[in-house]
Structure 1
Amino acid sequence: MASRFVLIENIRDSRPGKMSEAVEEEVLLPRHIKYAKRIMGVLPTETQGLDTSRMTILFFGVSGLDVLDGLSEVSCQDKADMVDWIYAQQILPNKSHSNLYQCGFRGGSFIGAPYQPTSSQNEVNISYNTSHIAMTYTALASLLVLGDDLSRVNREGVLAGVRHLQQKDGSFCSTAEGTENDMRFVYCACCVCYMLNDWKGMDVVKAAEFIKTSQSYDHGIAQGPLLESHGGSTFCAIASLSLMGRLDSTFSPAELERLKKWCIRRQQTGFNGRPNKPVDTCYSFWVGASLKLLGIGSLVDSAWNRRYILSTQCSITGGFSKWPECHPDPLHTYLGLCGLSLNGEKGVCPIHAALNISQRAADWLKTLHTNT
């Protein structure tokens, strides 16, 4: 620990002006609420490349509002409309169940299928109408945040679609067409199975083995075996094992201690994702949540972490950016808020570190599990 604090002191000396500016800065909660509401509506032209990921953008907005305790500013009708839109993106099994491997949720209505929230638009067999595992995760998470009871989720189809994506090595692809497979999608699969309270969607033993073999020589965890360790993939691995209840059985006490040290060393003024890389707002969540799940969240230097996050806060439009003096974006805004939540920031609601949703939404999920 001594070396970490020496490193922090060195950074303090090298950037005294920049960090001192943020010492007394406040979190601009009303402006961040407006930013979250804005990204749930119309996005600027330069974000048109995100059209296939509308579900995730909606999640950043809805869950961001929840973390800001601002969902009361959304009308009941708007919430109901959002829930209907999410369900309209669900790909349901056809009569013969020949498309089970495609089932789940897609990122939006970009394929041209008509928007029909009260009836299935999925009866038409479209070969490229397939789910995406990250969109399935964010769809279910958004439904929980909005207070939905998940009663319209076709569990058989969702779990079959997720199971189809698991590879022989235990990892997961993102879509049935066969795409990159790595730790991100293992995490999404674990979240889906946990939220549906049904682990038939994956082989948990193989998934845990994949995570185990993805620990790198420096004790961080990579996207897969023999790759570079990274803060994001480390979170995905730790959170996945936590949701599976296999963290302590997958890694030995010695391995966990070395993993903890790797995570602690990611803190500079804020957190970085890899050694010798600049700090970045999003890692206040990826690494901060990892430390919490590992039981050592108290070792985070909360004051310095807060100062860095606030140095990326936009005082005009609201939102947070990757680095200071950059434009805010939905991902860094949401994860910056989650980082502040882990810090115990006043006015920011507690989060469930493993699921990356508010604790309130996680408690609602627990109620659903209890009543089924």
Structure 2
Amino acid sequence: MVKLCWLILRGLRRNRRRNILTAVSIAISIFMFCGLASVAEIPALLMRGNAASRRLVCASTAGMAYQLPESYVRKISALPRVNLVQAWEFMPSEFHGSSDQFLSYAVDPIDVRELWPEWGVSATAADAFQHQRTAALVGPDLMRRHGWHVGQHIILHATIPSPDVPVEIVGVMKPGSSSSGPLNMLAFRRDYYESLNGNPGLVSIIWVQVDRLTSIDPVIASIDETFRNSEFQSKTEAEGQFTANVFSSLASIFTLATVLGVIVVVVVTLVAANTSAMSIRERGRELAVMRAIGFDAGTVLIYLVAEASLVAIAGGLLGGLATWLVLGGFAPALPGVNVPLPMSRGIIPIGVGLAWMVGVVSAFVPAWVATRRTIVTGLRLVS
């Protein structure tokens, strides 16, 4: 066994450039696989975060592009089993230019901490947001990207027909590491935004918090029944169902991400198999000599497969490290979703395992063919 390990290590030094390039190609494929698999995890991540939510989303039956009257907020507040109600308006924004866009939300300034505990807003920041007309709350990623600080005055430029919005940052959202809270968003006061727009009295969506989970279905029915015969009919959903519906139209994209991840691994397996076949074919005399001095075919097969496996595992570990650094430490926030690109805890071991399989599969067939030859045939092939 010691002699075999020595031979494997010696074989790895035989063609270092080829082994390094093979390991790097496997590392890139594993990184791409882990990234694409993480994209496919986005709907599940958001559904897990909303599974126990008591929040409802009330929007127009015509779609998110249409608005509801502001007066609906008061009518919904008067319904039984409703705790909190908050209206939102969307304003796609930019700071430096069109290459620096993010989502801003004009929200009602009351009950922010109660309705959105995952935002991690401090009591001081929530109080300032409620009492200061131009106040704004900003996600931590957005703060770091622009180098902003609390107390700074900034101007939001709307990417839709709307006046610019000067605001003062009064607090930073600090969602926990296990929370799907906002990282890359900005919230400012809706009454302030209304005054800048000339008080049109329309809102994009209305958030409703019920008293308990069992009240979700009755409250949904009450809200939609209240506005059934009005000019602006509503469609109310639980937050989890709303999130699922938003991403249902993108389901094919997430399926495509998974398929592409598998295709990447298969392509790299074929490339690695070609590389292994070339390496083993070049070593025909060496393998024949090993057989002649007493190594049996099974030992030679293990030697060749182990050598290719070590190169593949090194590439898998390198790809896993890149995945951990990019997705685990420097993950960007997803536009509109405001959560970081997720990284499943088991994705890196799966990636390393796939890399090992790539090494085994790519080397096994050419190694098996080489060990099936007789010693004389092996010597003649390279003579």
TM-score interval, normalised by the smaller of the two chains: under 0.3
TM-score, normalised with respect to structure 1: 0.22
TM-score, normalised with respect to structure 2: 0.22
Higher relative contact order (CA 8 A, sep 6+): 2
Structure with a larger share of its residues in strand: 2
Query: Quick check: which has more Rg, 1 or 2?
Result: 2
